[in-house]
Amino acid sequence: MQQITLFSKKVKKMKLPKLPKSSKRLVAVLSEKGQLTQKELIDAVGMPAKTVRYALKRLNEAKLIVSIPNLADMRSMFYSLNPDVGASYLDAHISQAKELIAKETSS
């Protein structure tokens, strides 16, 4: 009984990797819009292409996104949130990203 309590406390105190604000913005957009190309992400977040590429690199390193070849245009990829990551882990990142955006819009 006590082991379950300790385990649930560990889950609640899950440590998320540090990600730049640009990566968190992409997480929020991908959670709302689903699968997008890099160009669509650039348009959606209004950040420079180089910043979006760096954010995608960081999200890929953290295993939060997956890239799928765009069969209509093999020069580009579709990016989406990784469905193989635990739901609670992904939800924690999504809520953190939405909190960041809410703070930025209220300021």
Burial, 89: exposed, middle or buried (Cβ in 10 Å; 0-12, 13-18, 19+)? middle
Residue 13: its pLDDT value, please?
A: 52
Residue with tokens 């093999």: 74
Residue 41: its pLDDT value, please?
A: 97
d(CA 10, CA 23): 25
Residue 87: its pLDDT value, please?
A: 83
Judging by DSSP bridges, how do beta strands 36-37 and 65-69 pair with one another? unpaired
d(CA 104, CA 17): 21
d(CA 97, CA 77): 23
Q: Give 77's strand partners.
A: 69
For the chain, which ranges sit under pLDDT 50? 1-12
Residue 1: its pLDDT value, please?
A: 40
Does the pTM of the predicted model rise above 0.85? Answer: no
